[in-house]
Chain A
Amino acid sequence: AQKITQTQPGMFVQEKEAVTLDCTYDTSDPSYGLFWYKQPSSGEMIFLIYQGSYDQQNATEGRYSLNFQKARKSANLVISASQLGDSAMYFCAMRVPNAGNNRKLIWGLGTSLAVNP
């Protein structure tokens, strides 16, 4: 079954330190994409970073990087130099083929990150 698992319901990190948010996925399809989104308390969903299954290098976007370990089926998000504004829910999602050649996103349950001053 296609599934995303985020095992950390809540995480704390000290300001300016790095933090890793875990995401494991399950799919038998060789072609898939992995996304991370941030959802502040205001509710909007903000795209952070993308990793394709055939990408040779780990994705990076500013302070965000993705630790992609294909054999272990993990795609952990690393946030460097945490800021107070990083406090939010973080969701991992996977895009897989759907019926009729469509593609849909499968979402994890999220990890709540709190950055302490």
Chain B
Amino acid sequence: DGGITQSPKYLFRKEGQNVTLSCEQNLNHDAMYWYRQDPGQGLRLIYYSQIVNDFQKGDIAEGYSVSREKKESFPLTVTSAQKNPTAFYLCATQLEPRGNQPQHFGDGTRLSIL
């Protein structure tokens, strides 16, 4: 099946620990995005990538890091520098970064502090 796979569905982080959220897609889309969603809030952009080996900071990049070594994969690391990481994280893809196509989303990862 074509789609976007985020894993794990639920993740718990200890103090001082880095954790990595996975996002894999087989849609052959060029652009990939990471969003954070807090309760009662809209989505806020963390990082995005238009092509392999390139990525840009979004509005709330501090405390997060990403890589784009393959077109299919765009993992997000939540570092210990992110002091309030509890949120719902959504990965999205888009066929072309400057097109008018919609972004398509994975099922999300819920991250909590232990």
Contacts and interface: CB of A to CB of B under 8 A. Distances in A.
Interface in B93-111: 97-98, 100, 102-108, 110
Contacts of A43: 88, 90, 107-108, 110
A102 to B, nearest CB: 7
Interface of B: 40-45, 48, 50, 56, 58, 88, 90, 92, 97-98, 100, 102-108, 110
Does more than half of chain B's interface fall in helix, strand or loop, or is it mixed?
loop
A102 B102 contact: no
A45 B40 contact: no
Given A43-B88, A45-B105, A47-B103, 5 more contacts: A43-B110, A44-B107, A50-B102, A52-B100, A93-B43
Interface residues of A, number: 25
Contacts, number: 55
Nearest to B100: A33
Contacts of A44: 105-108
Interface string A30-56: 000101010000111111001010000
